[in-house]
Each structure stands twice: as structure tokens, then as C-alpha cells.
Chain A
Amino acid sequence: MKLAALGFAAALAVPAQAQDAAKEIQRYRQMVAEGSPAELFELEGEALWKKPQGPKNASLERCDLGEGPGVLKAAYAHLPRYFKDADRVMDLETRLLHCMTTLQARTREEATKRVFGSADRPSEFESLSAYIAGQSRGAKIEPGMAHAKEKASYELGRALYLQRVGAWDFSCASCHGDEGKRIRMQELPVLQKPEAARAVMASWPAYRVSTSQFITLQWRMNDCYRQMRTPEPTFGSETTVALIHFLTVTARGETYHGPGNKR
């Protein structure tokens, strides 16, 4: 009888502990957000945006992110979208690469040599993403969904999200498809649900405390596929853009408040 009572008490204690842990993680996140180094990356990105580079010795200041050449306000919140000059749907990083190869006349090979940086040396895309995303704070997330290619990109992203691939037969939904799943202490949001996608998409790109790096959505797609043990996706490919497009459309209507913080 005594044993049974103990067992019952132990069974009750577990969820309480998990709840405490979740609360503590919440508190930790709040403390981290109060002094986010993401702002330092925004400053670096601004300098990079204005820095003349490449064979044409041009800056990116005339880059059209969809709101007109050089217009940054709310530009990130309206991406990914269809661009007529490139005849495809592009997310922020893909569009930046397009501007580097056109405005600055850099080769794709040279510009993508180092798309993901390190703690000691962030990549151009990371700093630029921080700066440009920061100019969308307070704007409503409203990615393109009118053009036929935008709709096709969304549908492709949704299909890819559910498509099981690779040696481990994983899809995005294998981890992000059921409520209440965790990877170690990290809760895994069910990203096909708007209520979960909104909070996530409103805070990417973000500063990651554990690695002292600024991380972008292209990095997130790349790293998820690495964890799924697939071949490495190409930076700015139709696949990665479609997934980002699908997630952003799922989150539409939310007010953008990034660049955020990750554990």
C-alpha cells in the first residue's frame, strides 16, 4: 500500500518538474532577449549594405527587395515573393545573392563561398539578414501569394514539409508534426499550424546564444536537412525557398518582431 502511494506521488511529480523546467526556460529566454547581441549584427549588416564591393564596386543600396530599389522598410515581412526580373520566388537571402551577382557583378561561386559564418566571423548573409529583418519590426508578415509561381512555391513547400526522404526516411513533419514533442529540452513547434508558425516566423532570423552566432532561415533549412541526413541543399534553391515560403505563409498576419533570440 505504501509502495503504491509512493508510485502515485512520483507519477505526479514528473509533470510538475517538466512544468517548472518550461517556466525556467521561459525566464532564461526573457533574460537573454533583454540584452540581445542581434543588435550588433544589425549594425554590422548596415555597414555591409552600404559598402561598395565586387567588380562594379557597387553597394547593395539599390537592391530591390520587392518594395522598390533600396526600400528596406517592411521589405523582409513581405518576403518570400515573386520577382519578375529573376522570374522566380525568392526569399531574403536568395534575393541578396541576386543583387550581389547583378548590382555588384560578383560571381555566384564567389558570393556563396561562405554563406554560413562562425562565431568569430559572421557571413555577409547573416549580418545583412539581421539589418534588413530589423527594418521590418512592427510590420505584418504578408508574403506573396497572388502570382501563380508564388502559389506553386507554397504548394511545393507544403509537399516538401511532409515528404519523407533520405537514409533515415525523415520529413520535416517527423519532428514538427505532433504536439508535445521535444528534442532534449527544446520544444518542437508543429509548424503547419498557424498559431505555432506565427511565433516562430516572427522571430527569425535570430541570434543563437549557445553558439554565439547569428542564424538565418537558409541555415535552418540546411541544418534540418543535415540532421535528416539528406544531401546538402543548394543555398537559395527552389526547395529551401519553397519551405521558407510555406512556413511564412502559414504565419501570415503576425507582426514581425525579430531578429530574435534562440537558446
Chain B
Amino acid sequence: MAAGPMKMRAILGSGYTDVRVLMNHPMETGQRKDAEGKLVPMHFIQNLTVKVNGKTVVDAQVSQAVSRNPVFSFRLKGGAKGDKIEVAWHDNHGESNSTEAAVA
């Protein structure tokens, strides 16, 4: 599956920034069988990074335990209006996608 859309919101609080990102991904565990009884191969997001103005602030390892079409939210210390937030994921098939938004 080609990487589907991603959607992100970054909202400034007092002294922190809340980032919420939705992503489109099948997140196959490798345990499920298809209609013919064959195992559906593992396909899941392995790595997730969040950058603020180019500096990595979150580098997360993600496993099959996360549901399909996952949503991740983070609370980052500080931040200011207009800061550029980038979120990118890489999966075990080598596919990746990223999105960016300015803090509002």
C-alpha cells in the first residue's frame, strides 16, 4: 500500500506544545490470516521521529501492538507559535511518509 494521508495538529499551551498526528497504515501483526488461510505478512511502523525546527525531539520505536491507522500524541516542553514540527515514520517494508505543520 502506498503511504496514505497523514494529518497533524500542533497546538501551543502555556509552556508546552501538544502534537497530535494521525497516520494511515495497515499495521499488520503477522498473526492474521487472509481468506485463503495464509498468514498476512507483518507490516508495521517501526520508527517514528518528531523534529522541532529540524532538531529531533522524539525518536520512537513502534511495534505491531499498535492498531491500524494509529494516532500518536506528544506533549513537548516549550515551543512557540510558528515553530515547524515534522513527523516521519518508517515501516518494516522500507516505506515511509512524513508531514509537517507549524505550531498554532
A residues whose Cβ falls under 8 Å from a Cβ of B: 34-37, 39-40, 43-44, 119-120, 212
Chain A proximity of B50: nearest CB distance (Å): 16
- Further 5 A-B residue pairs, CB within 8 A, beyond A39-B7, A43-B5: A34-B71, A43-B7, A44-B5, A119-B26, A212-B68
Nearest 4 CB-CB pairs, A to B?
A35-B71, A37-B69, A43-B5, A212-B68
CA distance A212 to B4 in the complex (A): 14
Closest to B20 in A: A35
Q: Find out whether the CB atom of A212 lies under 8 angstroms from the CB atom of B7.
A: no
Contact for B4 among A35, A44, A119, CB less than 8 A: A44
Tell yes or no: B22 within 8 A of A by CB. Answer: yes
Residues of B within 8 A of A43 (CB): 5, 7
Type the 1/0 row for B7-45, where 1 means its CB is closer than 8 Å to any CB of A: 100000000000010111010000000000000000000
A43 to B4, CA, bound (A): 9
Find chain A residues with CB under 8 A from B68 CB: 119, 212
Question: Are A40 and B7 in contact, CB atoms less than 8 angstroms apart?
Answer: yes
Assembled-state Cα–Cα distance A35/B22 (Å) = 7
Smallest CB-CB separation from A207: which chain B residue? B69
28 examples of A-B residue contacts, CB within 8 angstroms: A34-B71, A35-B20, A35-B22, A35-B71, A35-B73, A36-B22, A36-B71, A37-B22, A37-B24, A39-B7, A39-B22, A40-B4, A40-B5, A40-B7, A40-B22, A40-B23, A40-B24, A40-B69, A43-B5, A43-B7, A44-B5, A119-B26, A119-B68, A120-B1, A120-B26, A212-B67, A212-B68, A212-B69
- B 46-88 contacts with A by CB, 8 A: 67-69, 71, 73
Chain B residues packing against A (C-beta within 8 Å): 1, 4-7, 20, 22-24, 26, 67-69, 71, 73
- Give bound CA distance, A36 to B67, whole Å: 12
Contacts of A39 in B (CB 8 A): 7, 22
Give, as a whole number of angstroms, the nearest-CB distance from A184 to chain B. 20
Cβ-closest chain A residue relative to B40? A120
In the assembled complex, which residues on chain B have CB atoms less than 8 Å from the CB atom of A35? Answer: 20, 22, 71, 73
Nearest-CB residue, chain A, relative to B7: A39
Tell me which residues across on chain A come within 8 A of B5, comparing CB atoms.
40, 43-44
- Closest Cβ neighbor of B21 among chain A residues: A35
A37 — nearest CB in chain B belongs to which residue? B69
CA distance A36 to B23 in the complex (A): 10
* Residues of chain B within 8 A of A36, CB atoms compared: 22, 71
**Separation in Å of the B95 CB from the closest CB of chain A?**
15
B67: A residues at CB distance < 8 A = 212
CB distance from A150 to the nearest CB of B (A): 36
A211 nearest CB neighbor, chain B only: B68
Min CB–CB distance A1 → chain B (angstroms): 51
**Separation in Å of the B94 CB from the closest CB of chain A?**
19
Which chain B residue shows the least CB distance to A47?
A: B5
Q: For the complex, what is the distance from the CA of A250 to the CA of B57, rounded to whole Å? A: 50
Chain A residues within 8 Å of B73, by CB: 35
Give the Cβ gap from A227 to chain B, nearest Cβ, in Å.
21
A214 to chain B, nearest CB (A): 10
- Nearest B-chain residue to A212, judged by Cβ: B68
| Shortest Cβ distance from B9 into A: residue | A39
Q: Which residue of the partner chain B has the closest CB to A39?
A: B7
